[in-house]
Amino acid sequence: MEQVRLKLVRTNPPTICSQTDRSVCCPLPSTTTTTTSTTKPSPSRSMQRISEQKCREYGKSVIQITKVASLMLGEPHVDIVVDKCKHKSVSLIVGGTEASLAEFPHQALLGYNNGEPSEWGCGGSLISPKFVLTAAHCLSPRGFGNVKFVRLGMSSRSQNDNSTLTFGVTEIIQHPNYNSKTFNEDIGLLRLNATVPINEYILPICMPTKLYNPNKAIASGFGRTGYQRSTSDKLLKVTLEKFTHAECQEAFGTAITVTNDTMLCYGHHTESKDSCSGDSGGPLQIYNDNEVKCTYTQIGVVSFGLKQCGTVGTPGVYVNVYNYLDWIEKIVWAGES
């Protein structure tokens, strides 16, 4: 929001053009020349998918409107908009770096067994106050059993402050067509045991309402920092490049069939940049382009890759979230569309 500085002159108070939005800069008197506006109207609520409606609703949670008294006697209060967002859209970087606090307020970490430090494994993303999106293979990984906990609001595994919250899982929802051998339909949902309070530290990510396959996208997670390396205590982010379907299929040969409409492939052609073990289930995202403040759009879910993650010129495979939007909406926002 652009701020307009009001300069009050004792003998010449500013003209107030609108009592509703407190406009101060008034239009010049109209002449006989008229123009036709080409501004596109915002789509009506009835034209929007339920996930898009919710995206806009969640985005408002980081905007605080404060009423302040007008300097003009008898005038109504003025609304001041305070943006509480903790991150800003910046140029995409190339290379893995630590994420700042609340830079990815939708990021989730999944816990198993008794929730001991060594039992926090896969990633996920908060997509509503009651649901987390993750990979199907993260719902009950071998040796860990069913996922039991979800942690939100942290930028490091060891973080333990008021911005970090842990929730129980009351329902595990695996896509009905998931195939653990082929990784087809590797997507799932977790219903939480309580409603998540939304704020600048914990904020749902938006769902894609159209097909996205941009040249660059951001992966984030607490996974291993490289092949045979330990998991990261810090939340890391990395900008990845798009690989074509042909490039992706060539990398995996005949071992895995990379399905064009349900899978996305991202990695780096010239550097060792990738998601890795422990990042599974986490988001592949882009900055939101729908004018919703402080939000990202999730285009992918970390699914699988080569054992030696980070191999130059080799992509990882991500579930194409848009392909599953109908399934997601029917569960997460049942009865609200």
- Give 27's DSSP letter: P
As a whole number of angstroms, the distance between CA 223 and CA 280 comes to 8
pLDDT recorded at residue 144? 85
- Specify the range with the lowest mean pLDDT, choosing from 92-106, 212-226, 318-332: 92-106
**307-333 pLDDT per residue, tens:** 656 567 888 999 999 999 999 999 999
Cβ–Cβ < 8 Å for 280, 122: yes
Is it the case that residue 213 has pLDDT exceeding 60? Answer: yes
pLDDT, averaged across the chain: 78
Half-sphere exposure of 39 (CA within 13 A, CB side): 4
Amino acid at 104: F
Is it the case that residue 76 has pLDDT exceeding 80? Answer: no
Q: Average the pLDDT over 77-101 and give the result.
A: 62
Is it the case that residue 247 has pLDDT exceeding 80? Answer: yes
Is it the case that residue 337 has pLDDT exceeding 80? Answer: no
Of 98, 48, 78, 30, the residue nearest 209 (C-alpha): 48
Looking at the annotation, which residues are catalytic?
A: 137, 186, 280
SS3 319: strand
SS3 118: helix
Beta bridge partners of 168: 149
Is it the case that residue 258 has pLDDT exceeding 70? Answer: yes
The torsion defined by the Cα of 143, 148, 151 and 157, in degrees rounded to 10, comes to -30
Cβ–Cβ < 8 Å for 115, 107: no
Of 154, 189, 149, the residue nearest 166 (C-alpha): 149
Residue identified by tokens 């307020």 is 105
Q: What is the pTM for the complete model shown? A: 0.78
Highest-confidence range of 6-20, 62-76, 149-163, 261-275, by mean pLDDT? Answer: 149-163
pLDDT recorded at residue 35? 36
pLDDT recorded at residue 334? 95
Q: Average the pLDDT over 263-289 and give the result.
A: 79
Tokens of 329: 């909406």
pLDDT recorded at residue 225? 47
